[in-house]
Amino acid sequence: MTLMRKLQMGAAALALSTSVASAQGVEVLHWWTSGGEAAALNVLKQDLEGQGVSWTDMPVAGGGGSDAMTVLRARVTAGDPPTAVQMLGFAIQDWAAEGALANLDTLADEQGWEAVVPEALQRFARYDGHWVAAPVNVHSTNWVWANTALMEELGISQPTTWDEFVAAMQAAQDAGYTALAHGGQAWQDATVFESMVMGVGGPEFYQASMVDLDPEALGSDQMVEAFQRMETLRGFVDDNFSGRDWNLASAMVINGEALFQIMGDWAKGEFVNAGQTAGQEFQCFRVPGTEGTVTFNSDEFAMFNVSDPAAQEAQLAMASAVMSPEFQIAFNLVKGSVPARTDIPSDQFDACGQMGMAQLAAASAGGTLFGSMAHGHANPPSVQNAMYDVITAHFNGEYDAETAAAELVTAVEIAQ
């Protein structure tokens, strides 16, 4: 039996009214526009269309989702919200606080979401005790992606310390390669930066600075060192990094132009989409110094309040499809992420996927699973954007490390 057939049979078990569902559909606002992301999203689209639920695509390019959120705000202000929206972390909570999101409690109770969704994800999928979003996946952000052939050519083994990581990049640069593939966009800078914070100070420092927003931690010598590490990395990116989309940076590693990329595991979807295999053409490992910890974000679909019963049924069909074990496997195999359910076996996943699932479980059990600052799971959007401004200004040479740490304290204070 094919996976798609299993999905269709699972959907039929929902006993939704086909005549009602087919009369409506879902308009889905998202920012999954790269090749790997589009392939993953197509799994969900085909599943719903197999149920007779039509799909109206509303993609807004921009890997961090900030452009999509701007479009969403305009749609809601105009009184015309999409029926389903890809969202991250605190953005879900903000919209729920405005009373804009539909209540999914009945479906969640019927399908037992509480028992299989990690508590760290429920922190964002529920508001005031009620389910308001369906988590699609768990991404972790503190990954390095490496070109195997270049590592072998340069005689480089997997670096396990910051000094070894720098030495590997220096070897690549000396050989005429781009050492670190990077795109100069605020969210990409912040993705790298949060791993520098974790690598310098460990879990307690990350909690104090990125989550608790303790002014002493934000302005500390450890924060200065994190910015200094960003300065080191800046010396290993190519001259054309400014404004580059993340997937184009991934392509540099895929094509053997660059040795490393620091990026969340959505990058793996690009390698897979290019026909490469984990552990063969490319390698994955945690940013040196962050081993044993996982910084995460979870893509979730929030359903906006709609009055039409047919649209409501279509929303429930989509939420149910998102949470089905079959979809969680099929989607995350393509996306590069790991399932948002804890009851999914890992045997169908590749080496990086299995590593990610095991490390996620260990971090969750050991108290070293932390929300990603760069991806809206550590602090509210106002604070996140204030941090973005300082991090990017520093990376582009506007501040030295000491000034950047001081500016970070001020920016966060103003944003709160």
Domains in the chain, start-ordered, CATH in brackets? 3-138+297-353 (3.40.190.10), 143-295+367-415 (3.40.190.10)
User: 64: pLDDT confidence band, cut at 50, 70 and 90?
Assistant: confident
Mean pLDDT (the chain, rounded): 91
Written as one string, the DSSP assignment of 313-324 is: HHHHHHHHHHHS
Q: What is the pTM of this model?
A: 0.86
Tens-digit pLDDT profile for residues 325-379: 999 999 999 888 999 998 999 999 999 999 999 999 899 889 999 999 999 999 9
Q: Is pLDDT at 406 greater than 70 in this prediction? A: yes
CB 154 within 8 A of CB 175: yes
Confidence of residue 63 (pLDDT cuts 50, 70, 90): low
pLDDT in tens, 210-221: 999 999 999 999
Question: What is the average per-residue pLDDT within 282-304?
Answer: 96
- DSSP classification of residue 157: P
Which of the pair, 201 or 14, is modelled with greater confidence?
201
300 Cβ contact partners less than 8 Å away, ≥ 6 residues apart:
86, 87, 88, 92, 121, 124, 125, 133, 134, 135, 136
Which sign, positive or negative, has the C-alpha torsion 121, 103, 385, 58? Answer: positive
> What kind and span of H or E run contains 21?
helix 18-23
Nearest to 252 by CA among 271, 269, 233: 271
Cβ count near 131 (within 10 Å) = 24
Q: Over the stretch 133-179, which tens digit does the pLDDT of each residue have?
A: 999 999 999 999 999 999 999 999 999 999 999 999 999 999 999 99
| DSSP code per residue over 368-411 | -EEE-TTTTSSS-HHHHHHHHHHHHHHHTTSS-HHHHHHHHHHH
Rounded CA separation 246/347 (Å): 29
